[in-house]
Amino acid sequence: MTAATVLVGPERTMSADSQSRADELKQQGNTAFKEKHYALAQQFYTKALDVDPANPQLWANRAFAAIRLEEFGSAIADASKALELDPKYAKAFYRRGDASYALGHFKDAVRDFRAAIRLAPSDPDLRRKLAESEKEVKRQAFEQALAMPDEASVSEQVVLEEITVEDSYTGPRMEADESGQLRATLDFVRAMLAAFKDEQLIHRRYAMEIILQAQAILKALPSLVDVDIPQGTELTVCGDTHGQFFDLLRIFDLNGLPSETNPYLFNGDFVDRGSWSVEIILTLLAFKCLYPAHMHLTRGNHEAKSMNTIYGFVGEVKAKYTAQMADVFRETFCWLPLGYVLGGKVLVVHGGPPVQCNASLDQVRKYDRNREPPEDGPMCEMLWNDPQDQPGMLPNKRGVGVAFGPDVAKRWLESQGLQMVVRSHEVKEEGFEVAHDGYTITIFSAPNYCDQMGNKGAFIRFDSDCTPSFTQFDAAPHPNKRPMAYAAGAWASML
């Protein structure tokens, strides 16, 4: 070994200059990570790997950055590469277990956490995560054992009349219409928003009324809904809101409440992550009840049981209301449409168009959406796909769906007579991004996502010609409650 060469690990040597450069890039990545600039950290780790590709720690570090960016497929690949280089690297098992859990692959997570514990037996966080993963494996097995083909839905078993509104309840009250049915009026919804802002809940009876009435409206819709924008009017499209209720109020402050003259489309991922998901979804469903033809809601990948179990929504509903209500929400999510076509020109969908399976608009309209999202096919793609800069299609970094290039977007849109796709699903620093020569727009409406990303939020207004205009906004102040406050304790750190 020469003076210009250093030993950096078993059977690994590199020049002193290269080692110094790799260490410098790694440190820059670590600094960016600590400052929560995860995409920048990922870039530094990638550059370091270009210099030192046999360094398992760099692969594990990049996997950690990918987890924070919700690129779980990439995280699994990077952690696996680290384990190829060092089969006894506990942190790589840890990272791969985290990514597998995030995708709902609980058996894989159990395997990796057990392996990590054998190598690092004194780590309490590993033991908590293993216990939580084992619990989920048992829950899945129990639910599968109980499942019956024609089992009655939980929603159908709710007897609203048996939910008594106590005289001691001082919050907003629904009034009965001429038929005796309790209904959400605009006055009630305004009072509900004020109560939520003061961190007060509405009564369980009224919450159930809203959910079940909205569910009935959603059931009557096709899986792909056509929406006209009459001359002289506009429609507002919002992206992910993720339980950030006080930012939803900011949207309404800037753009007005939903109404027959101020229609909205919220493009999925209403819940999880943020700790006011109950308040957001009840608000949106209440406006759906008030204005069925002017409040539109798309299903996102987080309107799914697997995501809600991990990222806090189920825990939040149980804490604020009941386990039964969590099941009623789950069944309601299964009736959310998969997408909307605005003015015959613009597809609005949470993830992206179904380009890999090449499903047509007519096929999507007839699709049976009343289910948990499958792992392939049009529903999976519409909830999970992401755009990429390079041409063609690749497996998605998230580990679900595909990444589609500008050529793929253009070809599919033109085959369906569409001008563009508007999708959400990804944090954008400016709150929106116009890509693929204008064929693909991303809109994201959760500013300073999870209180740490520093991004702006944005929404789009479309006129009757389907010309978009963008409004950006900053995060609103909110009470001191951390994101994922209702997630299982071991997973609240996955931010």
Q: Quick check: 402 pLDDT over 70?
A: yes
Query: Catalytic: which of 203, 294, 302, 350?
Result: 302
**Alpha carbon 306 to chain centroid, angstroms:** 11
pLDDT (mean) for 38-48: 96
Q: Bridge partners of 341?
A: 226, 347
Q: Quick check: 9 pLDDT over 60?
A: no
The model's confidence at residue 152, banded by pLDDT at 50, 70 and 90, is confident
Is residue 425 annotated as part of the catalytic site, yes or no?
Answer: no
Distances (CA, A) of 70 to 74, 93, 102, 488, 494: 9, 18, 8, 18, 9
pLDDT given at position 279: 98
pLDDT given at position 3: 45
Under 8 Å between Cβ of 443 and 459: yes
Find, among 96, 88, 64, 118, the residue nearest to 9 by Cα.
Answer: 88
* pLDDT higher at 196 or 493: 196
pLDDT given at position 479: 96
pTM for this model (two decimals): 0.91
Q: Quick check: 149 pLDDT over 70?
A: no
Q: Quick check: 99 pLDDT over 80?
A: yes
pLDDT given at position 139: 83
- The pLDDT > 70 percentage for the chain reads 95
pLDDT given at position 17: 87
pLDDT given at position 202: 98
What whole-number distance in Å separates Cα of residue 106 and Cα of residue 254? Answer: 42
* Residue 145 neighbours by CB distance under 10 Å: 7
Phi/psi at 215 (nearest 5 deg)? Answer: -60, -40
pLDDT given at position 1: 45
Under 8 Å between Cβ of 458 and 443: yes
Mean pLDDT is lowest, of 7-11, 61-65, 175-179, 477-481, for: 7-11
Q: Quick check: 101 pLDDT over 90?
A: yes
pLDDT (mean) for 400-409: 98
* Residue 116 neighbours by CB distance under 10 Å: 24
pLDDT (mean) for 330-350: 98
* pLDDT higher at 13 or 345: 345
Output b/e per residue, 28-58; b: 16+ Cβ within 10 A: bbeebbeeebbebbbbbbebbbebbebbbbb
pLDDT given at position 494: 58
What whole-number distance in Å separates Cα of residue 184 and Cα of residue 172? Answer: 10
Distances (CA, A) of 44 to 48, 58, 65, 126, 464: 6, 10, 10, 27, 45
pLDDT given at position 40: 95
pLDDT (mean) for 135-163: 82
Q: Quick check: 146 pLDDT over 70?
A: no
What whole-number distance in Å separates Cα of residue 442 and Cα of residue 437? Answer: 13
pLDDT given at position 11: 54
**Alpha carbon 84 to chain centroid, angstroms:** 31
Q: Quick check: 163 pLDDT over 90?
A: yes
Q: What is the mean pLDDT of the chain?
A: 94
Q: Bridge partners of 434?
A: 441
The model's confidence at residue 491, banded by pLDDT at 50, 70 and 90, is low
| Phi-psi category of residue 385: left, alpha or beta, with phi > 0 → left and psi -120 to 50 → alpha | beta
pLDDT (mean) for 254-260: 98
pLDDT given at position 178: 87
The model's confidence at residue 148, banded by pLDDT at 50, 70 and 90, is low
**Domains of the chain (ranges plus CATH)?**
5-146 (1.25.40.10), 209-491 (3.60.21.10)
Length of the chain: 495
The model's confidence at residue 2, banded by pLDDT at 50, 70 and 90, is very low
